[in-house]
Amino acid sequence: MAAIRAGQLQQEVTLLEKNPLAGKKLLLSGKGRCNLTNAADLDLFLKRFFSGGQFLRDSFSLFFTRQLIDFFQSRGLRLKVERQGRVFPVSDSSASILEVLKKALKEAGVHIEYNCTVKELTITGGKVGGVVRKDGVGLGADRVILSTGGLSYAFTGSTGDGLRMARACGHRIVPARPGLVPLKASSKYVRSLQGLTLKNIRLTFSDGKKKIVSDIGELLFTDSGISGPLVLTHSGAIVDWLSKAGPLRCTIDLKPALSFAQLDNRLLREFSSNDRKSLKNTLQLLLPKRMVSLILTLAAVCADKKSNQVTALERKSLASALKAFRLDIVNALPIEEAMITRGGVSLKDINPRTQESRIVKGLYFAGEMIDVDADTGGFNLQAAFSTGYLAGESAARS
């Protein structure tokens, strides 16, 4: 987007692409569907940012959701709004988004050099003068926009090159950490639940004494732990806590709408109404089938019992297991497998009105490599498009 905007303003623009093809990472976004933005209004939009939301006000005032949607629709791409305001192409294919961007690059007269890895920036007297390629060849430029992404999905080429170059010329770098990332659990039974989704559950993280996070939503069990919207949303805070204080206790309340006493009464009613059924079958009225045996084991209740054979003590044990299904969270997946990178070039070193470096004249930053990150739902991509547009505009008009 930065190259497109600068080209539209009649600048001679060269886009240096590390990969043999452009948009490798974009093609993966939204599970291949590309959730390119969100229909939320500005105030709600900014609330979905974990860090740097206020920094984006200038770029959003220039190029926000309406402008982004118009950009694609005016070029023939039909879009749709799904639940929670998520905007997708009607094609459900990120390739259609990429195709529009490639055509826009061509229309703007942008020259693209593929298989071009940049080694370092050329800086003289506090002003950028170009870049040096990996093969040692220097390319002159009086303005350079760094938009190299973070460290997530490294196989797409996002290996932190831009962060290294920014640090080398004096910019402060907020340590890169994984964001929107699944968490690893040490609990042995997690693998048996792989692929199971739990909706409307309460997830509480604590260190055994202090509650760190507690929220209601949807969870997905993986082969090594937990993921899903609820986990991804809070994973950044959990990763930071894990790095400082070590493993956390994760408690899943499978019936958050009921108090312990209400759940105990619900179990009593179900067991009375289904007194001749096996306990296993009765519990399937309350739980996913795959969880029943595990809950019985954790509650130390015999799986072969009939519903009318359950004692009051066993019933309370079952209620406890349902209200406090425990996992021990030991780590997160590595940053290379995270959806986004948290951290990056410090916002203190970037002018929010232009995206220009406060340290090196003629150097601009855009996208994931700056210290801005948000929840899932199209917020991160909009930030990338908006900062890119502002960087391109500012570089062209400087």
| Helix (H) / strand (E) containing 215 | strand 211-221
What is the helix, strand, coil percentage profile of the chain, to 5? 40, 25, 35
* Mean local confidence (pLDDT), 335-354: 98
Whole-number Å distance between alpha carbons of 153 and 137: 28
Whole-number Å distance between alpha carbons of 123 and 139: 12
CB distance 169 to 353 below 8 Å: no
What six digits make up the tokens of 5?
């905007």
How does strand 86-89 pair with strand 37-38?
antiparallel
Q: Tell me which of 42-51, 75-84, 131-140, 207-216 is least confident.
A: 207-216
DSSP line for 341-384: EEEEE-GGGB-TTT-BBSSSBTEEE-GGGBS-EE-TTTHHHHHH
| Helix (H) / strand (E) containing 175 | strand 173-179
CATH architecture for the domain at 2-179+336-397? 3-Layer(bba) Sandwich (3.50)
CB distance 219 to 198 below 8 Å: yes
The label of the residue with tokens 């910019």 reads 171
Say yes or no to pLDDT of 197 above 90: yes
Within 10 A of 296 (CB to CB), how many other CB atoms are there?
A: 22
What six digits make up the tokens of 327?
């996992």
In this prediction, what percent of the chain has a pLDDT beyond 90? Answer: 97
At residue 136, φ and ψ (nearest 5 deg) are: 90, -5
pLDDT in tens, 73-85: 999 999 999 999 9
pLDDT for res 187: 85
pLDDT in tens, 126-185: 999 999 999 999 999 999 999 999 999 999 999 999 999 999 999 999 999 999 999 999
* Mean local confidence (pLDDT), 286-299: 96
Whole-number Å distance between alpha carbons of 195 and 187: 16
In single-letter form, the type of residue at position 51 comes to S
Give start-end residues of each CATH 3.50.50.60 domain in the chain: 2-179+336-397
pLDDT for res 329: 97
**DSSP 8-state secondary structure symbol assigned to residue 309:** G
Say yes or no to pLDDT of 216 above 90: yes
Tell me the pTM. 0.93
At residue 376, φ and ψ (nearest 5 deg) are: -70, 160
* Mean local confidence (pLDDT), 14-40: 96
Average pLDDT, the chain: 97
pLDDT for res 208: 79
Within 10 A of 14 (CB to CB), how many other CB atoms are there?
A: 15
What six digits make up the tokens of 40?
């939320």
pLDDT for res 167: 98
In this prediction, what percent of the chain has a pLDDT beyond 70? Answer: 100
**DSSP 8-state secondary structure symbol assigned to residue 278:** B
Within 10 A of 244 (CB to CB), how many other CB atoms are there?
A: 7
How does strand 14-16 pair with strand 111-113?
parallel
What six digits make up the tokens of 159?
């290996």
pLDDT for res 13: 98
Question: Half-sphere exposure (CA, 13 Å, Cβ side) for 214?
Answer: 9
pLDDT for res 188: 86
- HEC assignment per residue over 248-305: EEEEEECCCCCCHHHHHHHHHHHHHHCCCCEHHHHHCCCCCHHHHHHHHHHCCCCCCC
Within 10 A of 103 (CB to CB), how many other CB atoms are there?
A: 13
